[in-house]
Amino acid sequence: MNFTEAREAFRKGDLPRLELAITQIGSHPLAVYAENYRLRNLLAKNDASGIPAFLDANEGTYVAEKLRADWLRWLVKESHWGTAQREAAKLLAPDTELTCLAQQASLNQGDNSVLTDAESLWLSVASLPDTCQPVLDALVAQGRADVDKVWARARLQIELNRPQAARRTLDYLPANRVSELAAFDQSYKSAMAYLARQPANWSATRGGRELTAIALRYVAANDPRTAAAELEKRLPQLGEDAAAWAWSQIALQAARKHLPEAYGYYQHAANTWLSEENHQWKVRSALRQQAWAEVRKAILAMPPALAERPEWLYWLGRAEKAGGRSEEAHKLFARIAGQANFYGNLAAEELGRQITPPPSPRPLSSAELQAARDNPGLQRALAFFRLDLRTEAVREWNWALRGMNDRQLLAAARLAEENKLWDRAINTAERTQHEHDYQLRFLAPYADQIRPAARQQALDDAWVYGLMRQESRFIGNARSSVGASGLMQLMPATAKWVARKIGLRDYNPSQVNDTDTNVLLGTSYMRMVMDDLDQHPVLASAAYNAGPGRARRWRAERPLEGAIYAETIPFSETRDYVKKVMSNAVYYSIYFNNRPDSLKNRLGTVAPAVPGGTRAADLP
């Protein structure tokens, strides 16, 4: 196949072979990619002469966007600032790297107005690509990032455990301040030793106080209580500002570890600036204690954009309800009720409504479906899928959806369904704003294999589908970055362990992507996890993603409603996963059983750990 030949020649930098393949490729949907490969090979040889004509002919396409990005990188490297500035303005969806390249070009053209935009990066993005460094340098050189702002950025990077990034930020301190940072590495690598060996005059300088606060943050990562005790010893010398920040870091670590003292630590932090992550954990620490007045106070203190997220509107509504302010609570619930997500569903139930999918849209016309089939971007994506080049296919597909209205999105989703691209059908259907097709959003392929396997294990098939939808979007050969495989994303060691436990003879790791084998192993493991964790689907969902040991440790010392357990899971990936699995299960249950379902009932109450309770000790 000549496109495959062209792609291979490009990867090897074999321009003559690539040009020969292009002459033979004809009108293939991916011919434009082959020409793009040729131009990129030439650009590597410092020949950009053919790029403008290609961009003009293919303006608005994904391949043109990516070639323009490559050209912009070359233009900046070669200091062609005027052309770089002009071409950067034509990018349709620049990421942070490209935005900083555009800002570099503008600065070199004498346009310093871009520094206003650059200022927003200072505290919003903790780790920036190298292309942003000249922009940050200009920001500091022009006095827009003083000593306080330098320390503020370094603190954020330390909170996110990026000490080397913080050290680079601290290079912006004036020369007379840098000597204070000689012990920076020790302050985070050997935090307790650093605190134990501090010189008597450690508090005399800003750097000494800040390094002490950094060390306390790293002690807190292992033991927040010890960190709090060490901070108490140093309160008079540390100073109000550094002490408040140190308390906020101890509080964050304590909240993630579900320590009851966490909210008290936050009180000590007073009005110090909190990152968005820290604001959210302040609420979670109060939620964990079911201290509704504190939940309300912490949400009202959030930045407005953060407080408007569905989760915090819901929990603010719950706090208002707990405080007897029912009218305010109902208004908050009404703002998100009906959204097809965890908190939209819970809000609807708080208002006494049943969770129901919206009415099916009017059928797509043959003209609408044909328009999707004729869409050049979708055609290119399908061509990539046929070549099993999924990464390129997904990027091209998603780009083609830009600007589509609801009807066009539904037609594209149907096209994906026709081609058994279940993940694209689901993700595309989820983009609609006003006209929705929930049967596309909650597709249930492989029913002849999955539902009988669920029944065999006495599992709720709606929950199995809800979990599988989140795990793989029904991509049979899906493989995660950590090596999980197949519809149910089984890790090799887990698959082997389950196969042995259920007596699956002659099991070979190569079988893990076989649909029947993957579903058998996955549902068997789900059954084992359910048996190990109180038959509770919230705990079992958390265990499937993060491991049974963690799911057990995350329980409280008293009964905890399932929604609070889910919201206070320390891992953001697992927290999001559990919410989506449980919400997915509701919709699958509605379609499978043709009757309403309740998310609140599914979440139930998570019982506290029973000392000495039985569990499968070797469950992976």
Whether 165 has a pLDDT exceeding 70, the answer reads yes
CA distance 351 to 435: 23
Cβ burial of 191 (10 Å; 0-12, 13-18, 19+) is: buried
The long-range contacts involving 376-381, CB below 8 angstroms and separated by at least 24 positions, are: 376/29, 376/61, 376/400, 377/61, 377/62, 378/412, 378/415, 379/29, 380/29, 380/30, 380/32, 380/33, 380/62, 380/63, 381/424
Task: Give per-residue pLDDT as tens, 132-145.
Answer: 999 999 999 999 99
pLDDT above 90: residue 270:
no
Is it the case that residue 610 has pLDDT exceeding 80?
no
pLDDT tens string 180-235: 788 999 999 999 999 999 989 999 999 999 999 999 999 999 999 999 999 999 99
Exposure string for 89-99, b = 16+ CB within 10 A, e = fewer: eebeebeebbb
Residue-level pLDDT at 609: 81
Q: Give the residues across from 479 on adjacent strands.
A: 485
How does pLDDT run across 530-551, given as a tens digit for each residue? 999 999 999 999 999 999 999 9
Q: How far is CA 87 from CA 56, 106, 131, 174, in A?
A: 12, 11, 16, 36
Res 617: pLDDT: 53
What number is the average pLDDT over the span 582-603?
97
Q: Which residues lie across from 561 on neighbouring strands?
A: 605
Q: pLDDT, tens digit, for every residue of 237-266?
A: 999 999 999 999 999 999 999 999 999 999
Q: Which of the four pLDDT bands, split at 50, 70 and 90, describes residue 124?
A: confident
Residue 344 is inside which H or E element, if any? Answer: helix 342-350
pLDDT at 125 over 80: no
Phi and psi dihedrals of 290, rounded to 5? Answer: 55, 40
Q: Find out whether 69 and 91 touch, Cβ atoms under 8 Å.
A: yes
pLDDT of res. 35: 97
Query: Beta-carbon neighbour count of residue 133 at 10 Å?
Result: 13
Residue 612: its pLDDT value, please? Answer: 59
The overall average pLDDT reported for the chain is: 95
Phi and psi, residue 593, nearest 5°: -105, -5
- How sure is the predictor about 619, in pLDDT bands with cuts at 50, 70 and 90? confident
State percent of the chain over pLDDT 70: 98
pLDDT at 555: 97
List pLDDT tens digits, range 446-466.
999 999 999 999 999 999 999
Write out the two tokens for 70: 């490559």
Predicted confidence at residue 616, as pLDDT, reads 52
pLDDT tens digits for 340-355?
999 999 999 999 999 9
Residue 466 to residue 582: CA distance in whole angstroms:
7
> What confidence score (pLDDT) does residue 461 get?
97
606: part of which helix (H) or strand (E)? strand 605-606
Instruction: Give 365-380 pLDDT, tens digit per residue.
Output: 999 999 999 999 999 9
Token pair listed for 44: 């590597």
Taking the mean position of all CA atoms in its chain, how far away is CA 89?
28
